[in-house]
Amino acid sequence: MPNPKNQPFDSFDSFEDFFQQAEQRPGYWVELAKLDFTREVLNRMKQLGVTKGQLAVKLGAKPALVTRLLSGNNNFELATMVRLARALDAEFRSHLQPQGTTAMWMDVLHEEPVRPAARAWNPAEYKPISTEKERLVHEPVTTAA
């Protein structure tokens, strides 16, 4: 099978042919993994409202390093991936996915999420129904057909 790296673009029958041959190269999968991880970091930053500068402070690094790491043109080490995850209040996980399958990650809470105090239940805001007249107002009305 010809190597797409050494083969000129015009020698492929279609882009699909080029793409299928590119998938045969390990470099394709390495780049895809780096882009996937970068996308996850950016999504997590957005969820938390963390800027690149704030992430740099959490990492104890210069903002230029964070910009380079998130540019998509980098070579992550596992230690760097773990540090990024921890700085974003997350855990780094990796797994092997058999070809022809789709992985579906599901985050499961281990305990009930803490509600902000402003939104918590306040029984003083509610009063019990005390009169027969008030009870009647809140009962469902049925009509004869």
Domain ranges of the chain: 1-90
Tens of pLDDT, residues 77-92: 999 999 999 999 999 9
Range with the largest mean pLDDT of 21-25, 31-35, 72-76, 77-81: 77-81
Name the class of domain 1-90: mainly alpha
Q: Which bin fits 49, alpha (ψ -120 to 50), beta or left (φ > 0)?
A: left
Q: Provide the pLDDT for residue 1.
A: 44
Total residues belonging to the chain: 145
- Crossing angle of helices 52-59 and 78-87, rounded to 10°: 110
Mean pLDDT calculated for residue range 23-31: 81
Residue 123 has pLDDT above 50, yes or no: yes
pTM for the whole structure: 0.62
Residue 138 has pLDDT above 80, yes or no: no
